[in-house]
């Protein structure tokens, strides 16, 4: 009798601990704490096994060697890249926690994975495969402090840090690829080729009156029709799905009394390819930047982030054919890029609409009971509307003629490695030949005063001259008749704000300082 009683107690305890494990750490702590790396792994391990639709693997490693868990949801027999690509389904990739103080994406994705494991959202399996990486910046996540992001309204028991384990901002690393996390992400793009990439954040100092905001890719060198598709079709549809669920949602930005244009407006500042969303756009894919509002409760941010991901997936599922067609057509146009005259290599954000309704709300100050620090909370009762200019347009500050491709001396190993790491095809010149080439003469060359991401970024200016060159066998050639041509130009053009010159990759190869050693093949027009 006694033994049976003990057995029964053990069984109840096991069931209770399994049920507890199926709660996220915020759910177990009244939203006071965020999940640690070990909590994420334990939570994923505790999900009811449903291997026919939900499988697990690893994206890669953090600098400290933590494996980055990855879940794949959909009707595929295994999660090999070729299996996923050949499924013919629309592939959506979602990542949380790239900035590890911005933790609701991680929590929202754990909650979503629990629903998927229990059979929820079965309709998505008809047309989608969803890849979820909940804790992208695993090392930063573990550096918990009650004093990180002090004004953010919780979690009050602290959150991780912005940078990864190398002290790098992962959302500035998408062209130079110095972090193992972003290298793993780019490798995933090359292997799984997702049509849509969703990157989950929390606002970082902007003020407005919304629960959550979003942005698409911004860059003047984006494929025009795909840019129009995301601006006029995909995002308005996602927006509508959010407002139907009563979320206050808008594009991401900050209301400024004085924008760089010198007047008030709602402004978003980031167009460079180093950012996840712009990088994905330059690869002819649809990017979703999600920014939950720092000054609403942690629970509201988790729920709003989960709702935005669901709205994206619902829209992707409803319109998978149109999305696939838009992306495929952009790839085809990219292959034809050498028939275009020029492409932007430096840009800026400009006004896109002179008068839009924008919700604003003041914040009240609330004391964090544990740290004693001031946090901000939106005053929901004081929402007001202003009509103001919005800045979502882009404009080229400098453009370059589009060549047939770039010739890279085979001694420039680091350049060739970086280009290959992005998945860009490189051919090798088999026989010595004479070509008409564009050679860039540098007339101005400066390093930034301030260090940024452990670099002093380089800016050069100059002009191309036409020369006849003898090209030895073994020279590397990056042809632009390939889908990643837009990205290749951003990496290799000397005046690019995010390429091998800007990020000092070329510094070690500086011979004759006035001539850029990568030359272009001029197209015959
Ligand atoms: Zn962020």
Cβ atoms within 10 Å of 503's Cβ, excluding its own: 24
Say whether the peptide bond before residue 155 is cis (omega within 30 degrees of 0).
Answer: yes
Contacts of residue 4, Cβ cutoff 8 Å, sequence gap at least 6: none
Ligand 1 center–CA 196 separation, angstroms: 19
Ligand 1 center–CA 270 separation, angstroms: 12
Ligand 1 center–CA 461 separation, angstroms: 32
- Would you call 335 helix, strand, or coil by DSSP? helix
Per-residue tokens: 280: 């994905």
Ligand 1 center–CA 435 separation, angstroms: 46
Distance CA 192, CA 424 (A): 15
Per-residue tokens: 261: 């244009």
Ligand 1 center–CA 17 separation, angstroms: 34
The model carries a pTM of 0.95
Closest CA to 121 of 307, 318, 310, 247: 310
13 burial level (CB within 10 Å; 0-12, 13-18, 19+): exposed
Per-residue pLDDT of the chain (525 residues), as tens digits, is 555 555 554 444 444 455 555 999 999 999 999 999 999 999 999 998 888 899 999 999 999 999 999 999 999 999 999 999 999 999 999 999 999 999 999 999 999 999 999 999 999 999 999 999 999 999 999 999 999 998 999 999 999 999 999 999 999 999 999 999 999 999 999 999 999 999 999 998 889 999 999 999 999 999 999 999 999 999 999 999 999 999 999 999 999 999 988 999 999 989 999 999 999 999 999 999 999 999 999 999 999 999 999 999 999 999 999 999 999 999 999 999 989 899 999 999 999 998 999 999 999 999 999 999 999 999 999 999 999 999 999 999 999 999 999 999 999 999 999 999 999 999 999 999 999 999 999 999 999 999 999 999 999 999 999 999 999 999 999 999 999 999 999 999 999 999 999 999 999 887 667 999 999 998 876
Ligand 1 center–CA 290 separation, angstroms: 9
Q: In what order do the strands lie in the sheet with 519-521?
A: 427-428, 476-479, 405-408, 519-521, 433-447, 458-471
Ligand 1 center–CA 99 separation, angstroms: 5
Distance CA 174, CA 278 (A): 9
Ligand 1 center–CA 200 separation, angstroms: 7
Residues with CB under 5 A from ligand 1 (ion): 99, 102, 201
Ligand 1 center–CA 202 separation, angstroms: 6
- Would you call 496 helix, strand, or coil by DSSP? coil
Contacts of residue 267, Cβ cutoff 8 Å, sequence gap at least 6: 253, 254, 255, 256, 259, 260, 349, 390, 391
- Would you call 287 helix, strand, or coil by DSSP? strand
Ligand 1 center–CA 498 separation, angstroms: 19
């Amino acid at each position: 009798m006694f033994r049976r009683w003990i057995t029964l107690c053990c069984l109840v305890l096991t069931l209770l601990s399994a049920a507890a494990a199926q709660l996220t750490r915020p759910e177990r702590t009244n939203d006071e704490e965020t999940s640690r790396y070990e909590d994420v792994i334990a939570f994923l391990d505790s999900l009811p096994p449903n291997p026919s639709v939900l499988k697990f693997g690893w994206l890669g490693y953090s600098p400290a060697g933590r494996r980055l868990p990855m879940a794949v949801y959909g009707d595929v027999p295994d999660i090999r890249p070729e299996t996923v690509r050949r499924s013919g389904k629309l592939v959506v990739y979602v990542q949380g926690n790239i900035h590890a103080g911005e933790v609701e994406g991680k929590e929202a994705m754990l909650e979503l994975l629990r629903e998927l494991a229990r059979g929820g959202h079965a309709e998505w399996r008809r047309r989608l495969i969803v890849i979820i990486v909940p804790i992208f910046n695993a090392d930063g996540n573990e550096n918990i402090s009650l004093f990180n992001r002090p004004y953010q309204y919780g979690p009050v028991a602290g959150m991780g840090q912005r940078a990864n384990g190398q002290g790098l901002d992962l959302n500035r690393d998408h062209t130079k690829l110095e972090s193992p996390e972003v290298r793993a992400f780019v490798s995933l793009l090359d292997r799984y080729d997702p049509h849509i990439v969703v990157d989950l954040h929390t606002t970082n100092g902007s003020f407005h009156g919304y629960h959550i905001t979003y942005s698409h890719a911004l860059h003047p060198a984006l494929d025009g029709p795909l840019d129009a598709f995301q601006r006029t079709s995909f995002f308005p549809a996602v927006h509508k799905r959010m407002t139907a669920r009563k979320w206050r949602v808008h594009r991401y930005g900050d209301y400024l009394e004085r924008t760089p244009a010198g007047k008030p407006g709602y402004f978003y500042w980031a167009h460079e390819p180093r950012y996840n969303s712009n990088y994905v756009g330059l690869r002819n894919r649809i990017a979703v930047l999600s920014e939950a509002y720092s000054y609403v409760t942690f629970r509201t941010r988790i729920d709003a982030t989960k709702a935005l991901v669901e709205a994206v997936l619902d829209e992707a599922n409803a319109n998978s054919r149109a999305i696939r067609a838009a992306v495929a057509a952009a790839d085809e146009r990219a292959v034809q890029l050498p028939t275009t005259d020029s492409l932007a290599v430096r840009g800026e954000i400009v006004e896109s609409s002179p008068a839009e309704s924008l919700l604003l709300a003041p914040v009240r100050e609330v004391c964090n009971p544990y740290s004693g620090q001031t946090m901000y909370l939106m005053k929901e009762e004081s929402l007001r509307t202003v009509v103001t200019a919005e800045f979502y347009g882009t404009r080229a500050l400098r453009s370059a003629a589009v060549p047939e491709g770039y010739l890279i001396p085979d001694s420039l190993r680091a350049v060739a490695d970086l280009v290959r790491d992005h998945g860009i095809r490189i051919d090798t010149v088999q026989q010595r030949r004479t070509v008409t080439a564009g050679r860039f003469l540098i007339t101005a060359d400066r390093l930034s005063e301030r260090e940024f991401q452990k670099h002093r970024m380089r800016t050069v200016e100059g002009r191309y001259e036409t020369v006849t060159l003898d090209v030895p066998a073994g020279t590397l050639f990056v042809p632009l008749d390939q889908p990643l041509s837009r990205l290749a130009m951003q990496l290799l053009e000397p005046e690019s704000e995010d390429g091998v010159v800007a990020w000092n990759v070329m510094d070690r190869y500086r011979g004759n300082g006035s001539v850029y050693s990568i030359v272009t093949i001029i197209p015959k027009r």
